[in-house]
Chain A
Amino acid sequence: MNSYRIKFLPSGAEAQVAAGESLYDAALTLGIQIRGECGGQGSCGQCLVKIEAGDCPPTPHASISPDKERRGYRLACVSRVHDDCVVFVPEESLTPSEGLDFDAVILSEDDRKRERALVGIIPVPPIASSTVPHPPIGFALDLGTTTVVGELVDLGTGRCLARAAAYNRQLSCGADIISRISYAERGKGRDRLRALALETINEIIGRLLNRADVDAGRVLLAAVAGNTTMIFLLLGMDPSSIRRESSDAVRTRYPIIYSREAQLKINPLAPVMFAPGIGSYVGGDVLAGVLACRMHESDKVTLFIDAGTNGEIVLGNRDWMMGCACSTGPAFEGVGIACGMMAAPGAIEAVEIARPNDLPSLTVIGDTQARGICGSGMIDLMAELFRHGILDRNGTLNAGRSARVEEHGGRRAYLVRKKGEEGAAREIYLNDVDFKKLLRTKAAIQAAIRTMLKNVDLEIQAIQRVVIAGRLGEAIDAAKAVSIGMLPDIPPDRFEYIGNGSLWGANLMLLSKEKGVDLNALADRITYLDLSTHPGYMDEYVASLFIPHTDV
């Protein structure tokens, strides 16, 4: 098949793109995140780009005037490559997170959380730093469906040497696990997904090595935590069994392999460990999180929630544990939401609205200008809008309740910031479609918690500790999340946010031989509850598509 050279401006990034692929996907493979809430359907009109050179037929859309069309404006998502092109991507067409220094994603608070997660882990003594001029280094990786985070760890001291993050380049092949699996089942999909995963990871490794100023050869051990599908795809294994109904047998145990087999660009002989999975949709990332929050050592009945693209929940204590997964979608990570972004500098992490017409007061990560809104901010916003009657119980914006609800791009939207308000560089809003997505995300988590509690016949009040992991944002306000029904209604002091549990777990695997070995035994102790075939889950889900929920 023919392929063409596509150059994107202003970044100047170039790619060789197969004929027929969309400009949108081409940009994504280069890590350029063009907005597109309709998911490439050609309907939302957010992915406007300008063709500077080369041929690209017009893409009719309400947002492209005849004049703009003449000047070369096209929708990236429906423009199929059939010529060498130079494509300019305007600022407005980029997601708020685009261009962010991803390393900044990992906040300093995370260091504290990391320390806490690693309490009591003794660094491996025989190769301690005092006797070796260049102590060995470990590589910990959290391989998420949407976000990938890596860390270099001094194996002598346990200290973090560098951390880096990136969007998973597989995003261009589908936002969630199921669409990745179906992509893998088509043609050379599996090879491509593997290549994209490796590109993402090796790019991160490159940045880490640079930042820590060390040689790849010194990285002598790696630990990877990710959901079952991500690990299968990384290893080039066929993931199609994962979504088959009878596959509760996907309690995966991975052998330790050399990094040259895994194709990670560290010391080729470094062993690579993978956190084992609990069930088809509850993977090693969750197990790593369980390890990090130590619920398996505690008497307290703990509810562990990892709110990623796939929401995973583990309930239990030292005596018993049960895990399940629900499909939440990537909304809380900022993907697919008009002004969504990950919890990084510039993200609105908390929202207060005093009166319906008031300008919302915002807390922005990094004390900079707000450029988007992250998961915790979205939860706050929903709760505040609901409190003031601006958002209905079924997630519809109420035009009459606040002057900040406006028609925006053909949809009803709530404007958190208009351009220029409080010096805002760009407008920040969430529209009706966004709120529906958030409602579905909230409902999935809530329904999973309720289904699981019913399964073990426990009342909500029996939960003694709630641990929240994921990239929702440090500022998650338990009371507000409770008010929209997302989290169980128990006293706020029982909630705890640990951030990236998966990465801390991977750290533990690197730093403690026992913990690493324990993992298989730990995985065996967790009962897997398959919600996709659970008769009660759908009922609970429908009951939860409402604020706070109905209980029939």
Chain B
Amino acid sequence: MNSSSVRKIRIGNTPADGGTRASSIEVGGESCLPYHQFEGIMPCKPVIAWEIPDVRPDDWCETVKDPYRELLGDPVGWARYVVEKHGARIICLDLRGARLDKENRSAAASVELLRGLLKDVKVPLIIKGPGPGQKQNEVIAACAEAAQGERCLLASAVGEEYKTLVAAAIAYGHLVVAESPIDVNLCKQLNILISDLSFPSDRIVIDPLTGGLGYGLEYTYSVMERIRLQALSGDAMMQMPFINFVGGEVWKAKEVKMPAAKEPMWGNERERGVLWEVATAVSLLYAGAGILVMRHPAAIAVVEKTIENLMKNG
């Protein structure tokens, strides 16, 4: 890889690397703008991570709960289902149940769940903590230890609170998501801060933060574009692949939830929701997304297909 390409990142360790995953996943490595394969190489295709919440997601809207109906309170069964039935290549375990404003589950409970998941499901894993604060540090540190050697992607290190998460990733051999609020300089600054802790740059994934379609998506788009241009012109502190948490942004939008009975002009809300997630995800692909964290199987199927087409024809 030359000095003006995005770093290639590997998530998940197979037994050969000292882990227990059946496969690992690589993202990044491109030396051109997204899908401009006539100008350079794009060795890894973008990947979709299936979002699995640790507790019953009562705030999810019906459209996106429906496909998983009997699995909603059973994260391990849910994960097994998406891997076996939908061919999921990577899972994003969302430890939202540990949030103080949710069920405030203990770090021990998160660890127990994680162990069960690692045992039953053999794809690589993204572990998303409950969000900034003391709880995040407790939960992520405990989970990082429990998943030692599995090379998981830990989300997310943020501006003022990145040290505990990064330290856990160093200690137990994981990767980190560096989350900054839609700004090129803040993105680079966090990458430098994390690197200052002697954390290798080829284990960082950038989350530039995004909104769903209609909620400032174009702003994320242009920031991602700027980060990528900077990376391709040789800025080592910007040469990380992107992750976008699409599902969480899309499925909270009014446009997704509104029943057709109330807004007949907007059409069937079930189709509308899926299309909203597709449109958001595809836009982010064009901006250079490497990992898309998504929810609805129908949307994921369309985006998978789109990725295939883009890679083939790009």
Q: Is the CB of A550 within 8 A of B193?
A: no
Residues of chain B contacted by A552 (CB below 8 angstroms) = 184-185, 188, 226-227, 230, 235, 238
Q: Which of A103-111, A304-312, A327-335, A389-397 contacts B (4 or more CB under 8 A)?
A: A389-397
Contact with B along A378-397 (1 / 0, CB 8 A): 00000000000000111010
Query: Are A394 and B193 in contact, with the CB atoms below 8 A?
Result: yes
Chain B residues with CB below 8 A from A545, complex form: 185, 189
B253 contacts A by Cβ under 8 Å? no
Which of B185, B186, B189, B230 lies in contact with A393, CB distance below 8 A? B189
Q: How far is the CB of B181 from chain A (nearest CB, A)?
A: 10
Residues of B within 8 A of A539 (CB): 184-185
Task: Judge if A258 is at the interface, Cβ distance under 8 Å.
Answer: no
Let me know if B193 and A542 touch, CB within 8 A. no
Q: Mark B186-218, 1 if CB is under 8 A from A, else 0.
A: 101100110010000000000000000000000
With contacts A394-B193, A542-B183 taken as known, whether A550 is within 8 angstroms of B160 at the C-beta atoms is no
Let me know if A393 and B196 touch, CB within 8 A.
yes
The proximity string for A residues 19-48 relative to B, scoring 1 for CB distances below 8 Å and 0 otherwise, is 000000000000000000000000000000
Mostly helix, strand, loop or mixed at chain B's interface? helix
Alpha-carbon separation in the docked complex, A552 to B230 (Å): 7
Interface size on B, residues (CB 8 A): 17
Within B150-186, the residues touching A (CB, 8 Å) are: 159-160, 183-186
CB-based contact A394/B189 at 8 Å: yes
Q: How far is the CB of A552 from chain B (nearest CB, A)?
A: 4
**Given that A542-B183, A542-B185, A542-B186 are contacting pairs, would A550 and B226 also be in contact in the complex, using a CB cutoff of 8 Å?**
no
A550–B192 touching, CB < 8 Å: yes
Q: Are A393 and B184 in contact (CB under 8 A)?
A: no
Closest to B238 in A: A552
Verify if A543 is at the interface (C-beta below 8 Å from B): yes
Interface string of A354-394 (1 = CB under 8 A from B): 00000000000000000000000000000000000000111
- Please determine whether B188 and A394 come into contact, CB atoms closer than 8 angstroms: no
Minimal beta-carbon separation of B113 from chain A (angstroms) = 32
Give the residues from 123 to 143 in chain A that come closer than 8 angstroms, CB to CB, to chain B.
none
Is A183 on the interface with B (CB-CB < 8 A)?
no
State whether the Cβ of A102 lies closer than 8 Å to any Cβ in chain B.
no
Q: State whether A396 touches B160 (Cβ < 8 A).
A: yes
- The residue from B159, B226, B230 contacting A394, defined by CB atoms under 8 A apart: B159
Q: Given the complex of chains A and B, what is the CA–CA distance between A542 and B186 in angstroms?
A: 7
A550 to B185, CA, bound (A): 6
Of B184, B226, B237, most buried by chain A (CB within 10 Å of CB) is B184
> Which chain B residues lie closer than 8 Å to A546 at the CB level?
185, 189, 192
Q: How far is the CA of A392 from the CA of B238 in the complex (A)?
A: 20
Interface string of A514-552 (1 = CB under 8 A from B): 000000000000000000000000010011011000101
Looking at the assembled complex, report how far the CB atom of A410 sits from the nearest CB atom of chain B, in whole angstroms: 15
Q: For residue B185, which residues in chain A have a CB less than 8 angstroms away from its CB? A: 539, 542-543, 545-546, 550, 552
Q: How far is the CA of A526 from the CA of B186 in the complex (A)?
A: 34
* Across-interface contacts of B235 in A (CB, < 8 A): 552
Chain B contacts for A550, CB-based, 8 A: 185, 188-189, 192, 237
Docked Cα-Cα span, A542 to B185, in Å, equals: 6
Q: How far is the CB of B164 from chain A (nearest CB, A)?
A: 13
Distance, CA A396 to CA B160, complexed state (A): 8
Q: Which residue on A lies nearest to B183, using beta carbons? A: A542
- Smallest Cβ distance from A293 to chain B, in angstroms? 32
Give the distance to chain B from A431, nearest Cβ to Cβ, in Å.
15
State the Cβ distance, A260 to closest chain B Cβ, in Å. Answer: 54
Set of chain A residues within 8 Å of B230, measured between Cβ atoms: 552
CA distance A396 to B227 in the complex (A): 25
In the bound complex, residues from chain A placing their C-beta under 8 Å from that of B238 are 552
Q: When chains A and B are docked, how far (Å) is the Cα of A203 from the Cα of B153?
A: 65
Nearest CB in chain B: distance from A390 CB, A: 13
In the assembled complex, how far is the CB of residue A153 from the closest CB belonging to chain B, in whole angstroms? 47
Contact present for A393 and B183 (CB under 8 Å): no
Docked complex Cα distance between A197 and B238 (Å): 51
**A393:B226 contact, CB within 8 angstroms:** no
CB–CB A393/B193 < 8 A: yes
Taking CB atoms, residues of chain A closer than 8 Å to B226 are: 552
Cβ contact within 8 Å between A393 and B192: yes
B190 closest partner in A (C-beta) = A394
Kindly report which residue of chain B lies nearest to residue A552, judged by CB atoms: B184
CB distance from A388 to the nearest CB of B (A): 14
Q: Which residues of B contact A (CB under 8 A)?
A: 159-160, 183-186, 188-189, 192-193, 196, 226-227, 230, 235, 237-238
20 A-B pairs (CB sep. < 8 Å): A392-B196, A393-B189, A393-B192, A393-B196, A394-B159, A539-B185, A542-B183, A542-B185, A545-B185, A546-B189, A546-B192, A550-B185, A550-B188, A550-B237, A552-B184, A552-B185, A552-B226, A552-B227, A552-B235, A552-B238
Chain A interface residues (CB < 8 Å from chain B):
392-394, 396, 539, 542-543, 545-546, 550, 552
- Nearest first, the 6 A-B pairs at minimum CB distance are A543-B185, A552-B184, A542-B185, A550-B188, A546-B189, A550-B185
Q: A394-B193, A542-B183 are in contact. List 13 more A-B contacts (CB 8 A).
A: A392-B196, A393-B189, A393-B193, A393-B196, A394-B189, A539-B184, A545-B189, A546-B185, A546-B189, A550-B189, A552-B185, A552-B188, A552-B230
